[in-house]
Amino acid sequence: MYKIIYTESYAKKAKKFAAKYPEVLPQYKKTSQLLEINPLHPSLRLHMLKGKHENYFSVSINLTYRITLDFLIREKKIFPIDVGTHEEV
């Protein structure tokens, strides 16, 4: 299994996301659980980002929302960086 490391910075962003989009929370929790079990699961749509976030990855919560990640496969650690719509993050 992988371990998600929640930084203080990310926790603040996740709290704002939860307040703004409470209807997405069940999907967010499911995405986080699946990410720890198998980050390569096809439903997460894990992919490397381009442009200013080229060293980071993204997984989809659904077609509208995503989580950006710093993803260390060798150490099996996942560091969420931001959460929001595709336009926001």
Contacts of 64 (CB under 8 A, 6+ apart): 85, 86
Domain residue extents for the chain = 3-85
pTM of the model: 0.88
CATH topology of domain 3-85: YaeB-like fold (3.30.2310)
Q: Quick one: which of 2, 88, 74 has its CA closest to 61?
A: 88
30: three-class secondary structure by DSSP: helix
Could you tell me the strand order of the sheet in which 47-48 lies? 3-4, 77-85, 65-72, 57-60, 47-48
Q: pLDDT tens string for the chain (89 positions)?
A: 899 999 999 999 999 999 999 999 999 999 999 999 999 999 999 999 998 888 899 999 999 999 999 876 678 899 999 999 988 88
